């Protein structure tokens, strides 16, 4: 069956669009309640990031779920991985997060977690889509659900994060800059690192409903890099709007992306004899990561872009570590989904065990020059099927030979085509990427 609403990570779009509107979200909540709760009902947790529209969609989801006979527990602002964790601990039927992740405030979306804290299987998402087409029928008044707020949700998740590293480990003596992107980690991440002993300088912790991800966060790492240098900090940690991604910078302000962070954790797990299965990356993972892991004797597997594909591959191989260059990293031996705070803590634990700084830890990862250009489209089009684009990709691949890669792919969460070129010569890589991006703009309209 063809998906109509769900993308690679829930449902997302511009607020006011047909699928990101109050009436649709009421129906979505009702349909999800029917599928996930069944005749038995149950409890659903709802968390959100800090977008102004989150209040509206929280109420809409609540109305739909209650009409389907499910009880609601409102978590308030909560990182996406925090909702996954709390869904498990509350023994809830499902967890829902209202977020558009790293997108600007005028976008929003809905993400779902199963009772086990995993992303929903395709079959369940398709069942929800099918239920949306049915007339909304409210259960009898005696079976209506109830809603209440969970007052200690943040504290529970903070303790879970702290428990992901050895109890004896302390961050005392570390000076860390945290960038919370004015998003869902703003009232959680600073407490986690402070309670573990670090001196924390926080930025991006004053959300106003409109400034989420604006000039801060993991998509704007130059901000935290400058602050680390200014403060003389040991390192910086930047999250995205919903807290499932993380980027770091070393003491000199140099960016350490998801690929390099995966290497640090993999090497530490290997030293502890706790690394099972291959490390899993995606088509976007830098060739430098693959080669660095190969030198350690660690297998590396690539999947399609998207954390659901990484998690599927890890399950098949019983692996424990995978992720993307964007900083969406899954430490499956600690939690069920990508978690920026957990990932950062695993990196800090690895540095402490090894007794050196972040710059030394990532020195073995030689990043191949890689250019990524996001082309925003006027309309959704599969550009890979256009004859001129196919010919241009083939020509670029021939020019690079075996010393590089070309990848064009449509984003699963926004009307964007990502043009990626990787190779040995930075000038050649930039030229080819610009050429392909210009062709896409000319062929499709941007």
SS3 state at 300: strand
Q: What is the DSSP letter of 407?
A: E
Catalytic residue among 53, 101, 218, 411: 101
411 is catalytic: no
Are 33 and 44 spatial neighbours (Cβ–Cβ below 8 Å)? yes
Q: Is 92 left (phi over 0), alpha (psi -120 to 50) or beta?
A: beta
Q: What is the DSSP letter of 385?
A: G
Would you state the structure tokens that stand for residue 136, as one six-digit string? 């909304």
For residue 90, count other CB atoms closer than 10 A to its CB: 18
In sequence order, the 6+-apart residues with CB closer than 8 A to the CB of 111 are 9, 10, 80, 96, 97, 99, 119
Return d(Cα 301, Cα 251) in angstroms, integer. 31
Are 59 and 48 spatial neighbours (Cβ–Cβ below 8 Å)? no
In sequence order, the 6+-apart residues with CB closer than 8 A to the CB of 338 are 80, 81, 244, 245, 307, 323, 328, 329, 330
Return d(Cα 198, Cα 139) in angstroms, integer. 51
Catalytic residue list: 101
């Amino acid at each position: 069956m063809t998906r109509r609403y769900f993308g690679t990570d829930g449902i997302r779009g511009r607020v006011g669009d047909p699928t990101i509107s109050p009436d649709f979200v009421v129906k979505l909540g009702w349909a999800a309640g029917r599928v996930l709760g069944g005749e038995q009902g149950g409890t659903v947790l709802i968390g959100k990031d800090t977008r102004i529209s989150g209040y509206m969609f929280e109420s809409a989801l609540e109305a739909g779920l209650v009409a389907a006979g499910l009880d609601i527990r409102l978590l308030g602002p909560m990182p996406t991985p925090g909702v996954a964790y709390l869904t498990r601990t509350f023994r809830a039927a499902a967890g829902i997060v209202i977020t558009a992740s790293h997108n600007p405030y005028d976008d929003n979306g809905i993400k779902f977690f199963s009772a086990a804290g995993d992303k929903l299987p395709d079959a369940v998402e398709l069942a929800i889509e099918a239920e949306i087409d049915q007339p909304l029928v409210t259960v009898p008044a005696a079976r209506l659900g109830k809603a209440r707020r969970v007052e200690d949700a943040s504290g529970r998740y903070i303790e879970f994060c702290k428990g992901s590293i050895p109890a004896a480990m302390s961050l005392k003596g570390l000076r860390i800059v945290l960038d919370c992107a004015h998003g869902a980690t703003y009232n959680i991440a600073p407490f986690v690192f402070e309670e573990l002993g670090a001196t924390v300088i926080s930025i991006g912790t004053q959300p106003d409903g409109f400034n989420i991800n604006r000039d801060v966060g993991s998509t704007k790492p130059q901000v935290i890099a400058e602050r680390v240098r200014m403060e003389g900090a040991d390192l910086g940690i930047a999250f995205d709007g919903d807290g499932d991604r993380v980027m770091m910078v070393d003491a000199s302000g140099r960016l350490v992306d998801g690929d390099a962070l995966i290497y640090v954790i993999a090497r530490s797990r290997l030293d502890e004899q706790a690394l099972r299965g291959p490390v899993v990356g995606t088509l976007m993972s830098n060739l430098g990561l693959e080669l660095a892991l190969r030198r350690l004797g660690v297998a590396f597997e690539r999947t399609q872009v998207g954390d659901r594909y990484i998690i599927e591959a890890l399950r098949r191989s019983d692996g424990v570590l995978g992720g993307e260059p964007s900083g969406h990293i899954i430490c499956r031996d600690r939690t069920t989904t990508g978690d920026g705070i957990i990932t950062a803590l695993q990196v800090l634990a690895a540095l402490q065990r090894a007794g050196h700084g972040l710059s030394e830890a990532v020195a073995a990862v030689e990043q191949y020059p890689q250019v990524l250009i996001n082309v925003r489209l006027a309309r959704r089009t599969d550009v890979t099927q256009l004859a001129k684009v196919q010919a241009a990709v083939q020509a670029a691949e021939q020019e690079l030979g075996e010393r590089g890669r070309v990848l064009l792919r449509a984003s699963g969460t926004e009307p964007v085509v990502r043009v990626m070129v990787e190779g040995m010569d930075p000038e050649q890589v930039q030229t080819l990427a610009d050429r392909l991006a210009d062709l896409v703009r000319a062929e499709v309209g941007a």
